[in-house]
Amino acid sequence: MSNLLDLLLNNPLLLAEAALNGLLLGGVLALLALGLNLIFGVLDIVWIVYVDLAMLSMYLIYFTVQVYGFPLLLGAVLGIGLGVLLGIAVHLLIITPILNSPPINQLLATGGLLFFIQSLATFLWTTDHRSVRLNLPTIEVAGMFVSFARLIAFGLAVVVMIALYVFLTRTYIGTAIRAVSQDRGAMSLMGANPQRVYVVTSAVGGALAGVAAALLIIQYSVHPYFGAAFGPITFMICVLGGLGNMFGAFVASFIMSEIISIGGVVWSTEMGYVIAFALFIVLMFIRPGGIFAKRQ
């Protein structure tokens, strides 16, 4: 605590910079959390493998841009496309056969896929950290230093989240996705083929992973254990916001990213994560249904 107080009194600008960076990180985390939560809301299955799918898109963007020299925009489009394909493939090949199995089997199946993808990535691409070199500047905003890549990533994440909101509230299929998350059976009485709703949901979830991949690869290097770095925090955000609650996931993303970012500046990056996870455990005792759950 004394560190935090010290910083607040002696170097408030550094603290403000950390808060700003936390906000920017939160935007990209929110994309991942919303994608995972969207799928959970509709299918009642947590895709433990979700961030690992984003990792595969990151590799594709890396190879397209860094190895083969194509423009980043093309890499991003391919990465998003791969996300969509992976989302549909996971649903058709892994989820569909076990849709009515006990939840533990579903969790184990997507968990098994996670280890498969991790091992395959290690085998194919080794454990090297690979990054796309962009030479984007660091810019100064009111005395605070922010990386331009982070700023772009945040801006695009916000645009995509607005698009997601419009899709879920204005279109028939988007509204049907929300409806199915409230009553899985009743939507078929409206004439909607449940499998079609599931496939569209998985494709949109995959697309969000692809967008997140494009925004992550300009800030972080990719390696086979990237999913292990961002997966747990994504899952935690969803639980904190209330599994299936999109608004909750959105808010929880920024709570978590601020704790990690400010904790990182005041103490150390590792400590930031320790605090975030500790707070999560405590909150789960106080509010097991998430921060926005109605009190029983």
Partner 1 sequence: MLELDGVSAGYGHFTALWDVALRVSAGEAVAVVGPNGAGKTTLLRVISGVIAARAGSLAFEGAALTGRPAHEIVAHGIAHVPEGRRLFPGLTVADNLKMGAFLPSARAHFAESVERVYGLFPVLKERRGQRAGSLSGGEQQMLAIGRALMSRPKLILLDEPSMGLAPVMVLRLFDLIRRVRAEGYTILVVEQNVRQVLKLVDRAYLLEVGRIRMEGRADALSEQDFVRKAYVGL
Question: What three-state secondary structure class fits 274?
Answer: helix
Residue placing its CB nearer to partner 1 in the complex, 16 or 173: 173
What's the min distance (Å) between Cβ of 256 and partner 1? 25
CA distance 114 to 95: 14
CA distance 13 to 24: 16
Contacts of 263 (CB under 8 A, 6+ apart): 271, 272, 273, 274, 275, 276
CA distance 166 to 54: 23
Residues of span 175-214 touching partner 1 by CB under 8 A? 175-176, 178-179, 182-183, 185-194
Residue placing its CB nearer to partner 1 in the complex, 231 or 241: 241
What's the min distance (Å) between Cβ of 255 and partner 1? 23
Give the DSSP H/E element, type plus range, for residue 147. strand 144-147
- Please count the other Cβ atoms lying within 10 Å of the Cβ belonging to residue 56: 23
Residue placing its CB nearer to partner 1 in the complex, 120 or 186: 186
Residue placing its CB nearer to partner 1 in the complex, 138 or 195: 195
Interaction between residue 102 and partner 1 (CB under 8 A): no
Interaction between residue 172 and partner 1 (CB under 8 A): yes
Site string for partner 1, 247-286 (x = CB under 8 A): ----------------------------------------
Question: What three-state secondary structure class fits 193?
Answer: coil
| Residues at the site binding partner 1, with contacts judged by CB under 8 A | 172, 175-176, 178-179, 182-183, 185-194
